[in-house]
Amino acid sequence: MINKPTLAVVGATGAVGTVMLELLTERDDVWGEIKLIASERSAGKKLMVRGKEVIVQALAPEVFDGVDVAMFDVPDEVSAIWAPIAAERGAIAVDNSGAFRMDPEVPLVVPEVNGEKTKDRPKGIISNPNCTTLSMIVVVGALHKKYGVTELIVSSYQAASGAGQSGIDTLEAQMNKVAGKELGHKAGDVREVVNDFGPFPAPLALNVIPWAGSLREDGYTSEELKVRNESRKILGISDLKVTATCVRVPVITTHSLTVVARFKNPVDVDAARNLLRNSEGVVVVDEPESKKFPTPADVVGTDPTWVGRIRASLDDPNTLTFFVCGDNLRKGAALNTAQIAELIAKEFN
């Protein structure tokens, strides 16, 4: 590589941005200059990336001049305005917000599943899926290629950091408040002690909350419909049946999901397990006789999607059930964005 492309990281100071800087330091150094961009409030801050201090610049049209790839980890409404501006100034925008995911002119990419789609980007924008979809789609995609998926029934165990840094801060503060108090024995006793719910609609410490995102049609949340619509788009199956229930759990980082997946063809559970063992980006931990399976506390901070508890349905030879864990800030956000950006970087070879 002679001319390494210039990268911009927009939203460099957020929860995902912080992980992105770690990833850029750890991964193959395919980038030339790296610009760090954030809101006015964070401009001037100095952050470390690849062992060097970089000064954060405020978001403005000019910062994209000379940028080849711009990764966005910012709220939907910020991406909606600024990703097109970056594209107009000549950068390929890789956007981790929900702003463009369902846009038919914007590919929604998971490199292990549909990496070839990055090339078809008429708007100069490529979308990164939602963290909950990403926490299972590499496993589902690998099985789909062999068996042809027809239906997914998914329940999530979503981490606090899916709601950003304020989600992490809120859960940590709540954990401190409830410690040593013998709560969770009477209705409302946690609620009496924990009064700051942060981004959540109820206490999260010593609790689970069947809600993530905002209310959409038919009583579903935005998060549940993202799992449905994004899975359909990534797998290229417009009539895939998907039922998701998203539940927040008191875990800092790493989403877990139970998945019941039906296929066109019968699935031998041992063959499926072997297929997953040989799939890129997947680690199988599935030794029930020694109680080995993935848990979020053992997966957080790692890159792959971890899968265990792989079982055949007892009622239907075409159905598998399994439990997946994926770090929602890494594969669920920063890592997948970085992987997409690296696919584009190859075009500069």
Residues 71-130 that bind a second copy (CB under 8 A): none
First to last CA, the chain: 5
Nearer Cβ to a second copy (166/243): 243
- Do 295 and 302 form a contact (C-beta atoms < 8 A)? no
Closest CA to 52 of 33, 80, 75: 33
- Do 171 and 194 form a contact (C-beta atoms < 8 A)? no
Nearer Cβ to a second copy (221/337): 221
Binding of residue 247 to a second copy (CB under 8 A): yes
Distance of CA 124 to CAs 34, 83, 95, 105, 297, Å? 19, 9, 11, 9, 37
The yes-or-no answer on residue 144 being catalytic is no
**Contacts (CB under 8 A) with a second copy, residues 143-172:** 151, 153, 155, 157, 172
* Active-site choice (131, 144, 246, 325): 131
Closest CA to 324 of 261, 275, 255: 255
The yes-or-no answer on residue 255 being catalytic is yes
Binding of residue 243 to a second copy (CB under 8 A): yes
| Closest separation in Å from C-beta 327 to a second copy | 9
Which segment (78-86, 113-121, 138-146, 316-324) binds a second copy by CB under 8 A?
316-324
Kindly give, in sequence order, each residue whose CB lies less than 8 Å from that of residue 329, ignoring residues fewer than 6 positions away.
Answer: 15, 16, 19, 131, 161, 253
**Contacts (CB under 8 A) with a second copy, residues 199-238:** 201-203, 206-211, 215, 218-221, 228
Sign of CA dihedral 304, 226, 126, 21: negative
With CB under 8 A, what is the number of residues at the site for a second copy?
A: 75
Beta strand pairing status for 305-312 and 319-326? antiparallel
* Active-site choice (144, 246, 255, 325): 255
Site string for a second copy, 263-302 (x = CB under 8 A): ------x----------------x-xx-x-xxxxxxxxxx
Distance CA 325, CA 150 (A): 22
Of 102, 222, 309, 342, the one binding a second copy (CB under 8 A) is: 309
Residue 57's H or E segment, with its range, is strand 57-58
Nearer Cβ to a second copy (17/107): 17
| Closest separation in Å from C-beta 312 to a second copy | 6
| Closest separation in Å from C-beta 238 to a second copy | 12
Of 1, 48, 60, 179, the one binding a second copy (CB under 8 A) is: 179
Q: Is 142 helix (H, G, I), strand (E, B) or coil?
A: helix
Of 129, 164, 308, 326, the one binding a second copy (CB under 8 A) is: 308
Other CB atoms closer than 10 Å to residue 238's CB: what's the count? Answer: 7
| Closest separation in Å from C-beta 340 to a second copy | 24
Which active-site residues does the annotation give?
131, 255
